[in-house]
Amino acid sequence: MTLVLELKQEPDQRLDLAPLVPHLLQGKSAAEIAAIQLQTTRENCAVGDIFDVKLDGAFDKIHFKGGSSRLDHLGAGLKDGEITLEGDCGHAAGRAMSGGSLVISGSAGPFAGSALSGGVMEIKGEAGDFLGGPLDGEIEGMSGGLLIVRGSAGARAGDRLRRGTIVIEGSAGDYVASRFIAGTLIAVKGAGALPGYLLRRGTIILGATPELAPTYIDCGAYNLAFAGLFGRFLRPYSKPAAELLAKRLNRFAGDTSVLGKGEIFFPG
């Protein structure tokens, strides 16, 4: 069964949707869900003030009909089940998600997938800055799971990534994979300036020749067995990423200004 939340109109203030995940709503009636208070920037409001609530029995899926850039923390803390959104969303969608599936048909604001540790998150439009990155004061960004962006992503995608995989089928902005600790990031159409800035460990795969810092070392070109295996794993999720991994790739090691055990690959 599916809980359907249909947006009545464009919100006139930012709204925190973190309470609207399956494991927090199980056992509640439509009336109880409609009465839940949402954190806002100005005036108090309940779920029923913003959405028409449609529910018939138990559910493990939530479907939002209608989106807005003012809808923050969509799917935050998701543990299991499925959330889908028709439209755009705001800040920190999928934050601290540890399982389940989150699919956004439009674009997402900054910090999408922040602190993601499990599950699969898909953004069919564009993603803002700091995709999968930490909030102020946090020392790690994403630590697991799979995050897919069908469009492009803003600056600093994958900042301080600790574990997990990010796939960007479009291009990434400047400083992609900055301060990377470990994990994998793929940008099928390339990236902006200085990818892998202060990269410690981890793997970055770019679809176009990047503007690298001078602290990277050319290690030659390879047909890697690992790339083929990883491509087969990713093919059900992203055919463009799998096709990129099947190519002969140049490898540059770095960033030697820090630990320097990371690597950046791109076609020759």
pLDDT for res 240: 98
Q: 236 in helix, strand or coil?
A: coil
Cα-to-chain-centroid distance, residue 234: 16
What would you report as the CA-atom Rg of the chain, rounded to the nearest whole angstrom? 19
Question: What angle is formed at CA 142 by the lines to CA 139 and CA 145, rounded to 5 degrees?
Answer: 155
Contacts (Cβ under 8 Å, ≥6 apart) of 214: none
> In degrees to the nearest 10, what's the CA dihedral of 163, 168, 173, 175?
20
Residue 1 above 90 pLDDT? no
**Rounded distance, CA 8 to CA 240, Å?**
37
Mean pLDDT score across all residues of the chain: 96
Question: What is the CATH T-level fold of the domain 61-267, as seen in this structure?
Answer: Pectate Lyase C-like (2.160.20)
Whether the full predicted model's pTM is greater than 0.85, yes or no, is yes
Mean predicted confidence (pLDDT) in 41-70: 94
Q: Residue 241: what are its φ and ψ, rounded to 5°?
A: -65, -40
Mean predicted confidence (pLDDT) in 71-84: 98
Mean predicted confidence (pLDDT) in 50-63: 92
Q: pLDDT of 85-114, one tens digit each?
A: 999 999 999 999 999 999 999 999 999 999
Per-residue confidence at 42, pLDDT binned at 50, 70, 90?
Answer: confident
**Do residues 130 and 111 touch, judged by C-beta distance below 8 A?**
yes
Residue 57 above 90 pLDDT? no
**Do residues 203 and 262 touch, judged by C-beta distance below 8 A?**
yes
Quote the DSSP letter at residue 133: P
Domain spans of the chain, in order of start: 61-267
**Closest alpha carbon to 63 in 50, 73, 54, 72:** 54
Question: What angle is formed at CA 30 by the lines to CA 21 and CA 78, rounded to 5 degrees?
Answer: 5
**Do residues 130 and 159 touch, judged by C-beta distance below 8 A?**
yes
Mean predicted confidence (pLDDT) in 237-266: 96
Q: pLDDT of 184-204, one tens digit each?
A: 999 999 999 999 999 999 999
Amino acid at 146: L
**Closest alpha carbon to 38 in 53, 26, 27, 56:** 53
Contacts (Cβ under 8 Å, ≥6 apart) of 141: 114, 115, 130, 132, 133, 134, 158, 159, 160, 161, 162
Mean predicted confidence (pLDDT) in 26-42: 94
